[in-house]
């Protein structure tokens, strides 16, 4: 029988593990956009998973899988698992199933259990803001300061871990949280930090000249301040001024990228027609590696007027899901999105006091808009995506608790 001293020591260890988990997950999220930090991020994530398992084994864990997303996640994961047996590249599909689905499902459930208080959720939004701001400042200083490019030059990260297509996925949610803090939070220190974060993240969004990012800024601003038309008009006016007075406007009149996207979508549609039920497999390299799918042959099947540059990625979240998991997988993925929006709508109706639901749906829409036109499924965007899903779930649970009382 353990002594009192051993019992107290054991309790301190378990308490320490419970405190370490949110710290490690927070560091994992903070380091998400930064290059050359993969090893540290993996250590943070898998250490937190091991700690959760240890606490679960000793029954020292208050862990719940209760969420409106549990069933949609389970169905999608089950369907993707069945698809592994039919995958064209089984090895790549098994790898991506583990590292791009199961990993982030675990990440989601850890988040909703360890950041469920208002204080921790506020800190989580702060981590997203500061991380994105530091990343933005670093990119701007390096590209325009060190490399000596002019401000009219489209910012290109040049980083293998963070393509320019993903900058908006990192920056726009941070800008949404920052802007809301500036308008709604009464604390001066929070306003000051939020202003710096907003300035840097908005600047990097404009400098990338990405049309999907500009569209995401517009839509997120409309949702965020839909009930405050004066602020909404002011915010949209600022975005519009920067769009019309900089070289971004040329991006909206250049039809070559649009033609290239249309060509890619037509090719992807042809692939989906050949693999409509199970898809080609969950592996993301299967589509463009050239080992199993001949994209040039598929290009010859589409009308000649739509043929153009052949991308090795579908460049669209729905098309990527459909081609990898089939039309059934796409329906299940839409089920995930529907359940997320439903939670957000409930939170908006029940949480009028803090407006967390509004800012999270605003950030979520921004991510989906960018994902609709850009390559999405890689570690950096996925961390942002599942973090926002977890935050939406946490806020929904607040309203659910109030309703039960």
DSSP secondary structure of 128-154: HHHHHHHHHHHHHIIIIIIS---TTSP
List Cα–Cα distances, 11 to 64, 80, 186, in angstroms: 21, 40, 39
Gap between the Cα atoms of 334 and 338, Å rounded:
6
More confidently predicted of 305 and 7: 305
* Residue 124 clears pLDDT 80, i.e. is over it: yes
- Residue 264's pLDDT band (cuts 50, 70, 90): confident
- Residue 348's pLDDT band (cuts 50, 70, 90): confident
* Residue 247 clears pLDDT 80, i.e. is over it: no
User: What pLDDT score does 404 carry?
Assistant: 47
* Residue 252 clears pLDDT 70, i.e. is over it: no
More confidently predicted of 131 and 239: 131
pLDDT tens column, 169-223: 999 999 999 998 988 888 899 999 999 999 999 999 888 888 888 889 889 988 8
pLDDT tens column, 378-404: 899 999 999 999 999 999 998 765 554
Helix (H) or strand (E) holding 24: helix 4-30
List Cα–Cα distances, 108 to 317, 366, 371, in angstroms: 19, 19, 19
User: What pLDDT score does 306 carry?
Assistant: 73
* Residue 3 clears pLDDT 80, i.e. is over it: no
CB 182 within 8 A of CB 191: yes
More confidently predicted of 341 and 14: 341
Gap between the Cα atoms of 217 and 164, Å rounded:
16
User: What pLDDT score does 405 carry?
Assistant: 44
Q: What is the mean pLDDT of the chain?
A: 87
DSSP secondary structure of 343-385: HHHHHHHH-TTT-HHHHHHHHHHHHHHHHHHS---SHHHHHHH
Gap between the Cα atoms of 5 and 178, Å rounded:
47
pLDDT tens column, 270-283: 999 999 999 999 99
Lowest mean pLDDT among 107-116, 150-159, 324-333: 150-159
Gap between the Cα atoms of 188 and 195, Å rounded:
10
């Amino acid at each position: 029988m353990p002594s009192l001293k051993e019992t107290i020591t054991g309790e301190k260890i378990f308490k320490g593990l419970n405190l370490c988990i949110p710290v490690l997950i927070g560091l994992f999220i903070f380091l998400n956009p930064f290059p050359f930090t993969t090893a540290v991020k993996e250590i943070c994530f898998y250490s937190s998973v091991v700690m959760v398992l240890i606490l679960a084994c000793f029954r020292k864990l208050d862990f719940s899988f209760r969420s409106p997303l549990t069933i949609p996640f389970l169905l999608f994961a089950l369907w993707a698992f069945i698809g592994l047996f039919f995958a064209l590249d089984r090895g790549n599909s098994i790898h991506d199933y583990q590292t791009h689905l199961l990993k982030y499902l675990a990440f989601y459930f850890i988040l909703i259990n360890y950041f469920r208080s208002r204080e921790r959720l506020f800190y989580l939004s702060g981590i997203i803001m500061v991380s994105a701001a530091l990343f933005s400042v670093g990119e701007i200083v390096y590209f325009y300061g060190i490399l000596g490019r002019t401000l009219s030059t489209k910012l290109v990260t040049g980083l293998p871990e963070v393509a320019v297509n993903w900058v908006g996925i990192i920056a726009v949610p941070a800008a949404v949280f920052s802007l809301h803090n500036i308008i709604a939070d009464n604390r001066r220190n929070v306003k000051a930090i939020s202003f710096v974060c907003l300035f840097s993240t908005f600047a990097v969004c404009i400098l990338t000249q990405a049309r999907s990012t500009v569209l995401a800024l517009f839509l997120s601003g409309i949702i965020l301040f839909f009930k405050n038309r004066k602020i909404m008009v002011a915010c949209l006016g600022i975005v519009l001024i920067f769009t019309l007075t900089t070289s971004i406007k040329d991006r909206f009149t250049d039809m070559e990228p649009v033609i290239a996207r249309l060509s890619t979508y037509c090719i992807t549609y042809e692939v989906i027609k050949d693999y409509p039920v199970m898809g080609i497999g969950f592996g993301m390299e299967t589509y463009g590696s050239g080992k199993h799918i001949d994209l040039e042959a598929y290009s010859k099947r589409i009308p000649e007027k739509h043929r153009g540059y052949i991308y090795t990625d579908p460049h669209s979240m729905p098309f990527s899901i459909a081609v990898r998991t089939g039309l059934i997988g796409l329906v299940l993925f839409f089920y995930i999105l529907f359940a997320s929006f439903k939670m957000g709508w409930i939170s908006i109706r029940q949480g009028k006091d803090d407006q967390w639901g509004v800012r999270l749906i605003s950030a979520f829409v921004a991510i989906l808009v960018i994902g609709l036109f850009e390559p999405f499924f890689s570690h950096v965007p996925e961390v942002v995506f599942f973090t926002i899903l977890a935050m939406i779930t946490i806020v929904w649970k607040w309203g659910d608790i109030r309703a039960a009382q």
